[in-house]
Amino acid sequence: MFQLMRRRTFVSTLAISALSLSVLGLSAPASPVLAAGKTIAAVMHSDLRILDPIFTSAYISRDHGYMVYDTLIATDSNFKIQPQMADWKISDDKLTYTFTLRDGLKWHDGTPVTAEDCVASLKRWAAVDGMGQQMMLFTASIEATDAKTITLKLKEPYALVLESIGKPSSRVAFMMPKRLAETPVDKQIPEQIGSGPFKFVQAEFQPGVKAVYVKNTDYLPRKEPASWTAGGKVVKIDRVEWITMPDAQTALNALQSGDIDFMENPAIEMLPAIEADKDLKVEILNKFGFQTGARMNFLHPPFDNVKVRRAAFLAIKQKDVLDALIGNPKYYKTCAAAFICDTPFATEVGGETLAKGGDMAAAKKALAESGYDGTPVVLMAPGDVLTLKAQPIVVAQQLREAGFKVDLQATDWQTVVSRRASQKPPKEGGWNMFITNWVSADVDNPISNVAVGGQGKKGGWFGWAENARIEQLKDTFVRAASLDERKKVAAEIQKEAYDQVLYMPLGQYQAPTAWRKSLTGVIDGPATPVFWNIDKTE
């Protein structure tokens, strides 16, 4: 429980969020609710607005998913797939995967978890996730053969079944009750009922102010030690509050005073002050870091014209973006690899101008020859997420220098998350470009990296690029018999993606996390900060 004087300070920080909330016409709580037991107050990288982690690939919704939901299988710190809700067996012919639910699994409403629930969940996830979609091309059926058994049958062997269902980041194959999992993928689920280690407190949810989770006392953790998103999700605290504080300095002040306990993404320039504070600890929890990149909308001018897209690609100088975003070269690197530098599928093929730092003269020439008619580029610029504020400003400047007209529209990240799903023209509330960040685990191969997909409006990622050659190459990739063969195909996919400018990587970086030393047991991972395994001393 917070001390009284600290709570007074905390109320003032909440007032900042409440002020922004009032602009949206929403109401903020008159005062924070004091909770008995151990409470962790955390400032996450973004405000939480969309609660359905299958509806969106936004990371804050994924993080929310890990609090509320669980997965059939999961990834440990050795990149190995481990049992979570279920164990599995694979037939000798590699065509049948049988998952058996462990005993004692309950939904938060007290009803038992069944195989039918999980089948419906897998189908909803696979309809929108890149790896899930690819897996389903090889799938003959997914059925509940009894109350505890899920049977997945393939039309032909597919080596990435477990890696797809157990992948650690967006979109994650979270399990939901059947009645929720049968919600169409273009609509959000109406309630938050999972079987995970925490329960979502709907009555205390205040978008723009806070989200609240309490310990699920019915949760039965696995016996194995916690490891990334696998193992025993042992909850040692009673309550977690995600507090919205868009101002990084306000959040740091609250962390230093003890009004909050955890800050997911402090600014790099704040690290000296954090490191000098004997009560604080700072670490990089995601050792594999992030990729930041720009995505265009292929449905509307000007980026429906590949020549215009190539001009924009030539104008990009990653170092300028990373200097503005991170500043300290210790925490960033320029990288021309779509599938992450220093990984098996890393290559500069097709990205030579990215590697050399752009070519503005070539960009101006290409734009002049493209037929570009001066159509403004509507670039969404979220100002409330520390790791997304700088990129749109720098990219807008680079595009203008190349000759583009740019309409930089200030917004917040959750508005971007909602708006990017719109296929309407920019004049009707649509968009031309947005910038996002990926954890490396989401984009380190051609199947998980949805930004290089070519499915178009039927299942494609926001922007809806259509490219039959990419889809053919992805099929070749998953059928390849060796790593060397897959590397060659991955290079072909990257070259095609860059030639057609399906995606523009802006570089790689690492993001430190800070917390008070009163928290123990904070574990690292490839994607999300997790709140199981953490204890707190007063």
pLDDT in tens, 112-163: 999 999 999 999 999 999 899 999 999 999 999 999 999 999 999 998 999 9
Chain centre to alpha carbon of residue 202: 22
Q: Is the pLDDT of residue 23 over 50?
A: no
Asked whether residue 388 falls in the same domain as residue 488, the answer is yes
Q: What is the pLDDT of residues 260-296, one digit of tens each?
A: 999 999 999 999 999 999 999 999 999 889 999 999 9
Kindly write down the DSSP assignment for every residue of 315-358, as one continuous string: H--HHHHHHHHT--GGGEE----TT-TTSTT---TT-HHHHHT-
| Mean pLDDT in residue range 171-193 | 97
Distance CA 96, CA 117 (A): 19
Peptide bond preceding 302 in cis form (omega within 30 of 0): yes
User: pLDDT tier at 3 (50, 70, 90 boundaries)?
Assistant: very low
Q: Is the pLDDT of residue 11 over 70?
A: no
Kindly calculate the radius of gyration of the chain based on its CA atoms and give it in whole angstroms: 23
Asked whether residue 396 falls in the same domain as residue 330, the answer is yes
Q: So what's the pLDDT on residue 1?
A: 36
Asked whether residue 109 falls in the same domain as residue 177, the answer is yes
CATH number of the domain that residue 246 is part of: 3.40.190.10
Q: Is the pLDDT of residue 27 over 90?
A: no
| Mean pLDDT in residue range 355-378 | 97
- The SS3 call for residue 483 is helix
Distance CA 173, CA 165 (A): 6
Distance CA 316, CA 68 (A): 39
- Cβ–Cβ < 8 Å for 339, 449: yes
| Mean pLDDT in residue range 301-315 | 98
The secondary structure element, H or E, covering residue 439 is: strand 433-439
Q: So what's the pLDDT on residue 54?
A: 97
Q: Is the pLDDT of residue 308 over 70?
A: yes
- The SS3 call for residue 322 is helix
Q: So what's the pLDDT on residue 32?
A: 38
| Mean pLDDT in residue range 331-360 | 95
| Mean pLDDT in residue range 480-493 | 94
What residues does 293 pair with on adjacent strands? 436, 505
Quick count: other Cβ atoms within 10 Å of Cβ 257? 16
User: pLDDT tier at 24 (50, 70, 90 boundaries)?
Assistant: very low
Question: Diameter of the chain by CA atoms?
Answer: 67
The secondary structure element, H or E, covering residue 243 is: strand 239-243
What residues does 199 pair with on adjacent strands? 214
Closest to 109 in 3D by CA, of 189, 194, 215: 194
| Mean pLDDT in residue range 46-75 | 96
Average pLDDT, the chain: 92
Asked whether residue 489 falls in the same domain as residue 386, the answer is yes
Q: So what's the pLDDT on residue 14?
A: 40
| Mean pLDDT in residue range 197-213 | 97
- Token readout for 94 is 């590699």
Q: List all residues 6 or more positions away from 4 whose beta carbon is below 8 Å from its beta carbon.
A: none
> Kind of pairing, strands 39-43 and 239-243?
parallel
Task: Return the percentage of the chain with pLDDT > 90, whole number.
Answer: 87
Distance CA 532, CA 66 (A): 10
Q: So what's the pLDDT on residue 459?
A: 84
- Cβ–Cβ < 8 Å for 84, 71: yes
Q: Which of 139, 156, 181 is the last residue of a domain?
A: 181
Asked whether residue 415 falls in the same domain as residue 469, the answer is yes
- Token readout for 319 is 């170092």
User: pLDDT tier at 36 (50, 70, 90 boundaries)?
Assistant: low
Asked whether residue 500 falls in the same domain as residue 530, the answer is no
Asked whether residue 325 falls in the same domain as residue 272, the answer is no
Asked whether residue 265 falls in the same domain as residue 402, the answer is no
Asked whether residue 82 falls in the same domain as residue 172, the answer is yes
Kindly write down the DSSP assignment for every residue of 141-159, as one continuous string: EEEEEETTEEEEEESS--T
Looking at 103-214, list the stretches that DSSP marks H as alpha helix, in order from N- to C-terminal side: 115-126, 130-137, 161-165, 178-181
Domain hosting 378: range is 290-509
Distance CA 61, CA 176 (A): 15
- Token readout for 320 is 């300028």
Phi-psi bin for 511: left (phi > 0), alpha (psi -120 to 50), beta? beta
Looking at 182-305, list the stretches that DSSP marks H as alpha helix, in order from N- to C-terminal side: 248-257, 271-276
CATH number of the domain that residue 79 is part of: 3.90.76.10
Q: Is the pLDDT of residue 33 over 50?
A: no
Domain total for the chain? 3
Rounded to the nearest 10 degrees, the angle between the axes of helix 115-126 and helix 130-137 is: 100
Distance CA 339, CA 444 (A): 4
Q: What is the pLDDT of residues 214-255, one digit of tens each?
A: 999 999 999 999 999 999 999 999 999 999 998 999 999 999
Asked whether residue 158 falls in the same domain as residue 255, the answer is no
Asked whether residue 315 falls in the same domain as residue 362, the answer is yes
Q: Is residue 61 part of a domain?
A: no
Asked whether residue 197 falls in the same domain as residue 303, the answer is no
